[in-house]
Copies of this chain bind each other. A is one copy, B any other.
Amino acid sequence: MAVPIDTAERRLGQAIAALGTNGFAACFYAWLRHGLDCDNATMLAYFQDRRPEILYVCAAATEVHENLENAYLPGAYLLDPFHDLHVRKVPPGLYRLREIAPDAFTRNEYYAAYYRATTLIDEIAYVSYPAPGVSVHVCLGRDAGSGRPFSAGNIGLARKLEPIARELCIRQWSALTSSGDYADATIAGRVIAAMRARHAISLSPRQAEVALLILRGHSSVSIGLRLGISPQTVKVFRRQLYRKCNISSTAELFALVMPLLSEPPPKTGPAPTPDAA
């Protein structure tokens, strides 16, 4: 038999042929993996109004998958730098974790409690928007098995493939729908509501916003840059926050707020009254 002269094209063809079927993601990944030297893939859809959905997971260690189900999807995703891209509605394209991660990322609690268990040492993601309010992330990772991060060549190639990958994602997942609209303020609102309900602590919007950024692994300086305020002011919010919560460290903040993130978001509409029909 003749050796296929261009496997990449053949695989791309297969992926295109599989568009609209359940087999697409696997073919898609087969194509990507052929060109890019990665160990695993996770495809996720983020929405405005509900938790993310797994579109595809390349069979990895079961414990990683468990973590995904038990920690990430219920709430930890809200601290994920990639999810932050969705919130910020960044342009579609290729993003690399180490470039978008907060400055103190590897020493924050999200990283220690969740991300580290994935053993991923490098991760890139194609971000696309197949429908209004819906982000699809195709995450390709290199784990401890490989030992080394993506090479510059790999990154370059991944960037070249991006338009095709984006187009495929948009076609495949255009049927996904979301409603509502949220920015970080929405998540902060959720934290405020949960803190009031569960701990009888009333946070100001700004305090909640700062709390989230702290939990994501931003330093005070980084938070200041993000919010356009002085780091000194961030420190004040932090102090007020700690005082209200009766805590004195980031670790405690994490233990206090993390469980709240897993709670279902309140019904649409701010401050619903109990007697609403």
Contacting A108 at CB < 8 Å: which of B106, B109, B116, B251? B251
For the complex formed, measure the closest distance between the CB of A200 and the CB atoms of chain B, giving whole angstroms.
10
- In the complex, which range does the number of interface residues on chain A fall in? 10 to 19
Interface residues, chain A, with chain B CB atoms under 8 Å away: 106-109, 111-113, 116-117, 248-249, 251-252, 254-256
Whether B116 and A249, one on each chain, are in contact in the complex, defined by CB atoms closer than 8 angstroms, is no
In the A-B complex, the 9 residue pairs with the smallest Cβ-Cβ separation, listed nearest first, are A107-B249, A112-B251, A112-B255, A116-B255, A112-B252, A107-B251, A109-B251, A113-B255, A112-B254
- Copies of chain A in the complex: 2
List the B side residues contacting A256 at CB < 8 Å: 116
CA distance A106 to B248 in the complex (A): 8
> For residue A109, which residue of chain B has the nearest CB?
B251
Q: List 14 A-B contacts (CB under 8 A).
A: A106-B248, A107-B248, A107-B249, A108-B251, A109-B251, A111-B251, A111-B252, A112-B251, A112-B252, A112-B254, A113-B251, A116-B252, A116-B256, A251-B251
Whether B255 and A107, one on each chain, are in contact in the complex, defined by CB atoms closer than 8 angstroms, is no
CA distance A254 to B255 in the complex (A): 14
List the B side residues contacting A116 at CB < 8 Å: 252, 255-256
